């Protein structure tokens, strides 16, 4: 089997570095030693063991991408950058015919999908790359579609905690809020309780100290109108391993779609799960 070349964008960000390291450790893949990075990054390269990744600032990427494509040939791009860069990066990938996996949350998601559908490439777009959590979301989506208004009259509290550097509200929490809306609970995304303070995460949430810089804890609490019935759903992830592994599955899936000649199509992690 030919190894799949992958360019991981967002290095030296923690999630991008984790995915890049998994690619280096997996004989199904080859890491493209270049990465798009943000305007706040002053470094010009980043070392992963013996591999040196060249960091490409925004003002130089239009020029340098042609050289990279000529040298590397076909490759899959992975995006773990910043919510503010989602739509611009997607337009860049589409403009240059670079199939991509978008793991970055935020941005205008409708515009993101429209950009891909108007292009010549396929993409996997998902607010959460953890397969098991995506499976849980699929169960919630089934319930929402099959039993609308099941929890009508119930109150809802959604709490999520992530590392201090995560800029936006959890995309998973937002997706779950939409399922509960279908289940009959009027709940706004702005009411999601977002925790980013390490001391509070440690002392009040009980998150282990070694995972304060990389975790995703979510809790959804429902109560009946008279408070005699309650439901609670929780999924807590420590570290980034589960997301990195899911990202590699998405890359494998997308490479298959590229080989099939798929164009202008948006896929989700549900599509990836069905193909495994």
Q: pLDDT tens digits for 202-254? A: 999 999 999 999 999 999 999 999 999 999 999 999 999 999 999 999 999 99
Indicate if 21 and 116 belong to the same structural domain.
yes
The pTM (predicted TM-score) of the whole model is 0.87
Indicate if 25 and 79 belong to the same structural domain.
yes
Indicate if 248 and 119 belong to the same structural domain.
yes
Indicate if 34 and 77 belong to the same structural domain.
yes
Indicate if 45 and 17 belong to the same structural domain.
yes
Contact between 38 and 82 (Cβ < 8 Å):
yes
Indicate if 188 and 219 belong to the same structural domain.
yes
DSSP state, residue 181: H
Contact between 172 and 218 (Cβ < 8 Å):
yes
Backbone angles phi, psi at 100, to 5 degrees: -145, 155
Indicate if 34 and 119 belong to the same structural domain.
yes
210 as an active site residue: the answer is no
Query: pLDDT digits over 35-52, tens only?
Result: 999 888 999 999 999 999
- Of 166, 174, 215, 218, which is the active-site residue? 166
Q: Which residues are CB-neighbours of 272 under 8 A, at least 6 positions away?
A: 124, 126, 131, 246, 249, 250, 253
166 as an active site residue: the answer is yes
Task: Report the CATH number at residue 146.
Answer: 3.30.360.10
Q: How many domains does the chain have?
A: 2
Mean pLDDT of 92-113: 96
Distance CA 241, CA 216 (A): 12
- Of 131, 162, 215, 218, which is the active-site residue? 162
CA 47 remoteness from chain centre? 23
């Amino acid at each position: 089997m030919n190894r799949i070349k992958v360019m991981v964008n967002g290095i030296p960000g923690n999630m991008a570095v984790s995915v890049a390291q998994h690619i280096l450790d997996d004989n199904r893949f080859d890491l493209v030693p270049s990465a798009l990075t943000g305007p706040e990054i002053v470094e010009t390269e980043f070392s992963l063991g013996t591999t040196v990744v060249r960091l490409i600032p925004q003002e130089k990427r239009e020029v340098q991408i042609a050289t990279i494509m000529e040298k590397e040939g076909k490759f899959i791009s992975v995006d773990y950058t910043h919510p503010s860069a989602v739509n611009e990066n997607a337009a860049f990938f589409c403009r240059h015919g670079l199939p991509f996996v978008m793991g970055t949350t935020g941005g205008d998601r409708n515009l993101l999908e429209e950009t891909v559908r108007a292009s010549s490439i396929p993409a996997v777009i998902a607010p959460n790359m953890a397969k098991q959590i995506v499976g849980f979301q699929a169960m919630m989506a089934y319930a929402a579609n099959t039993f609308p208004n099941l929890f009508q009259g119930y109150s809802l509290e959604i709490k999520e905690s992530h590392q201090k550097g995560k800029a936006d509200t959890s995309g998973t929490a937002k997706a779950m809020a939409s399922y509960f809306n279908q289940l009959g609970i009027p709940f706004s995304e702005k009411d999601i309780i977002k925790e980013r303070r390490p001391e509070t995460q440690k002392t009040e949430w009980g998150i282990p100290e070694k995972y304060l810089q990389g975790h995703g804890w979510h809790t959804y609490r429902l109560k009946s109108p008279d408070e005699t019935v309650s439901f609670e759903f929780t999924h807590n992830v420590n570290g980034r391993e589960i997301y990195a592994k899911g990202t590699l599955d998405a890359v494998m899936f997308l490479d298959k779609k590229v080989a099939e000649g798929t164009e202008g199509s948006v896929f989700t992690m549900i599509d990836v799960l069905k193909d495994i």
